[in-house]
Amino acid sequence: SFDALSYMELQGNDLQGSAEFLCDAFGVNSTDVKVDKLSLDCSCCACCESASLTDIKLSGLRSIVSNLSSPDDLANPESAQSRALDWLLGEDNPLSPDDKVRVAQRYSLAVLYYSTNGPQWREQYQFLTPEHECDWADKDRIVAVKSCSDDKLVTSLDFSDIGMVGSIPTEFGHLTQLAEARFFG
């Protein structure tokens, strides 16, 4: 019996098997269980039938993004916000929803990319690659993400002469450590 257990994290491993003990421990309240890679056989109970790892992680990412963008923008499949969310959710190794600051940073930069016609920029500067956002730059760190803090938060951007068109989205304001931004040419 798990009378005293109120929280469980099952992350950073390759565990798999039956979730029966989770159902016994938490009943139908699966929000007290954090998983990332756990592959579960949920035939034992109803508490996790629809809560696969991917569903839990993607739900967490959606929740964070819903606090950054308007529901109308997210509901419009043509919007930069919806496209950025689709990209974020479609990554091979999505971020953990526990890293809210990084999710906000990665999403906000993706919205900027789509809002300014990123696919048509003169160069892509590794934007929307699996690389950390601090590496979304040219090899000399002159264009795109110029610098980041020790905590890997973007502090300087330079998008000079790369062919941006469109608008700077409100999500740009969620780059909380940004001290310098250039949009020339």
Give the pLDDT band of residue 15 (cuts 50, 70, 90).
Answer: low
Q: HEC states along 125-175?
A: CCCCCCCCHHHCECCCCCCEEEEECCCCCEEEEECCCCCCCCCCCHHHHHC
- Mean pLDDT, the chain, rounded, equals 82
**What's the confidence (pLDDT) of residue 80?**
98
- Distance (Å, rounded) from C-alpha 110 to C-alpha 175? 12
pLDDT tens-digit map of 129-148: 999 999 999 988 889 999 99
Q: Would you say the C-alpha torsion 77, 79, 83, 86 has a positive or negative sign?
A: negative
Strand stretches in 3-149, DSSP E: 8-10, 16-18, 33-35, 39-41, 144-148
- In tens, the pLDDT along 54-104 reads 677 888 999 999 999 999 999 999 999 999 999 999 887 778 899 999 999
Q: In sequence order, which residues have a C-beta less than 8 Å from that of residue 149 and are 6 or more positions away? A: 155, 177
Confidence of residue 28 (pLDDT cuts 50, 70, 90): very low
**Whole-prediction pTM:** 0.73
CA distance 33 to 44: 17
Q: If you search the block for the tokens 């951007």, which residue do you land on?
A: 157
Buried b (16+ CB within 10 A) or exposed e, 110-145: bbbbbbbebeebeeebbbbeeeebbebbeeeeebbb
Confidence at residue 95, expressed as pLDDT on a 0 to 100 scale? 85
- Express each pLDDT in 162-180 by its tens digit: 999 999 999 999 999 999 9
